[in-house]
Amino acid sequence: MNALAIFLGITGPWQIVLVIVVVILLFGGKKIPELMKGIGSGIKEFKNAAKDDQPANSKKEEETKE
C-alpha cells in the first residue's frame, strides 16, 4: 500500500521535509530568497498581464455588440 501511495504521488509531511532539505542543499541558504523573489515577481507579472487582458476583451465585445 505504501508503494502505491508513493507511486500515485500522495505526499506526506516527511516527503515535504525531504524536498525542502534537498532544495536547501542544492541552492544554498543564500540563493533561496533570490529564487523566491524571482518566482514572486513572475507570478505578479502574470497576474497583471491577465488583468490587462480582461478589459481589452470586454471592450472588444462591447464594440461588436453596438
Residue 1 has pLDDT above 60, yes or no: no
Tell me what pLDDT residue 17 has: 86
pLDDT at residue 66, rounded to an integer: 54
**What is the per-residue pLDDT across 18-65, written as a single tens digit (0 to 9) for each?**
888 888 888 887 888 888 899 999 999 999 988 887 755 555 555 565
The 3-state secondary structure of 16-47 reads HHHHHHHHHHHHCCCHHHHHHHHHHHHHHHHH
Domain boundaries, the chain: 2-65
pTM of the model: 0.47
pLDDT at 19 (0 to 100): 85
